[in-house]
Structure formats: structure tokens, C-alpha cells
Amino acid sequence: MHPVTEVHYLALSAALLLIGTIGVLTRRNIVIILMSIELILNAVNINLIAFSHAWGQTQGQIFAIFVIVDAVAEAAVGLGILIALFRNKETVLADEIDLLKW
């Protein structure tokens, strides 16, 4: 068995990013789209931690903390918008929300 190197982590992170992108682009349910965004942000974090470990520095972990803070803010605001939307339109399907569509 090969020893695990940074390349393994980068490949795993790329795969997670692609899975999250598929979720964002193809699902209709907004809750699951928000979950896919969390997957994408986690893929970024894996990359940051892998390089932080490879260079023996802590800066990458600091940036991962900031990414997590962003993810929290995004989830809170996104779910708030979702609740407001559901109260007005009675739907959580992304392609039925077309108020701005001409």
C-alpha cells in the first residue's frame, strides 16, 4: 500500500468539491442545495489543512477557521431567507421561485 501523501488529500478534496457542485447544479430542493454548499466549503478546508500539514505551518488552519465562520454565517442567513420564502410562496423548490423572471 502506498503511504498517504498530500496528493491523496487533494484528490479527495477535488472529488468532494465535484460532488457538492453536482448537488448545487442539479437538485431542486433549496435545503439540499445549501447542504451541497457546506460540502464544497468542507472540500476547501481539507485542502487548506493538507497544505498546512505539509508545510508544517498553522496559517492554513487559521484560514480553515475563517472558512468555517463563513459557512456558519451563510447557513444562518440562507435558512432565514428560506423560511421567509416558504411563508410567502409555500415552496422550497428552486425552479418554482421565479418572481424576477420576465
Verify binding: residue 97, another protein, rule CB under 8 A. no
Verify binding: residue 59, another protein, rule CB under 8 A. yes
Q: How does 8-27 read in b/e, with b if 16+ C-beta sit within 10 Å? A: ebeeebeebbeebeebbeee
**Which residues, numbered 5-34, are part of the site for another protein (CB under 8 A)?**
5-12, 14-16, 18-23, 25-29, 31-32, 34
Rounded CA gap, 77 and 36, in Å?
Answer: 16
CB of residue 79 vs another protein: minimum separation in angstroms?
Answer: 5
Verify binding: residue 37, another protein, rule CB under 8 A. no
CB of residue 101 vs another protein: minimum separation in angstroms?
Answer: 14
Verify binding: residue 89, another protein, rule CB under 8 A. no
**Burial of 41 (C-beta count, 10 Å sphere; 0-12/13-18/19+):** buried
